[in-house]
Structure 1
Amino acid sequence: MADGTLFEFLHTEMVAELCAHDPDPGPGGVKLNLAVLEGVGFRVGQALGERLSREMLALREELDVLKFLCKDLWVALFQKQMDSLRTNHQGTYILQDNCFPLLVRMAAGSQYVEEAPKFLAFPCGLLRGALSTLGIESLVSASVAALPACKFQVLIQKS
C-alpha cells in the first residue's frame, strides 16, 4: 500500500460502518457483520495473492507459501514482516505480529482488547484469500492477549 495511514483509515471506517449498521445485533449479528468483513478481506487477499505471486516461482510447499505471506504479503500491506512463524508440522501455523499496525492506535488502554476481534476479521479473510489463491484451503483465526500484538492461527484443510 502506498500510504499506510489511508489503509488504516479505510479499514477503521469499514469496521465502524459494519458495526454501526445494526446497533443491537444480538448474539448472531456480530458474527454476521464480522463474516461480511472477513469476506471482503478474502476477496482482497485473493487479488493480492494473484498479483504478488506472479513474480514468484511456483510455491510448492505449505511452509514456503506461509513464508511468502509472512514476508512478501505483509510487507506489501504493512511495510513490515510478520515477527514469527511457528508450526506443529501437522497443518497448524501460528503467525505472530508483535506490533500489528491496525491495532497500534488501540494500544493506549487495555479496555480495547475486547474490541480487537472486530479489527482482525478483515486481515483473517485477507490471509485466507491469499492462501486460497495459492492453492491452500484453510481456516484462519486471530487472537489478542495484549495490544498491539496479535496471533493468527492458520489451520490447513486437507482434502
Structure 2
Amino acid sequence: MQVFEALADPVRRRMVELLAGGEQGAGAVGEIVRAEFGISRPAVSRHLRVLRDSGLVTVRADDARRLYAVEPIPPREVDIWPDRFRRFWSRRLDALGTELARGGREHQDRGRGRDWDRGRDPRENTTGTPPADGPLSTGNSGNSTRNEEDT
C-alpha cells in the first residue's frame, strides 16, 4: 500500500500523530484509537500493520511488547510527490505576489478622487449624511405604525 493511501484513513493518521510523540506500545496506541474511533483490537492491529508495511512506522520487540515509532526517514514517496507540484505552485504564487503588489499600487493611483478612498460612502449625499428616507433616518417618514398617543 502506498504512503498516501495509508494516511488517507483517519484512524491511521491519528496513530501516526500519537507515535510522533515518541515510541509507544501497540496496546497504548490501541486504547486511544479504540476509545476515539470505537474500533476492535484486531482492527487496531490491521491499521498498525498497514502503517508498518507502508514504511511510515517501525516496530521492535521488547520482551512480549511490540513498540511502534514513526519512521525517522520518511518514505521517498513523501518527498517526491509534493516536489512535482511545488515548482508549479512556487511560480504561480510568485506571479500572484507580483500581481497583488502591482494591483495595490495601481489601485492607489487610480483611486485618488474616489469617495471610497476618502473614507466616505459614495451612496451618501455630498454632506456625508445618509438620505432623509434612509434606514438611519431619525425623522418620521410615514412608515411608522406608532401614533402620537403611544409616545
State the TM-score bracket (shorter-chain normalisation): under 0.3
Greater relative contact order structure (CA < 8 Å, 6+ sep):
1
- Structure that is richer in strand per residue: 1
Structure whose alpha-carbon radius of gyration is higher: 2
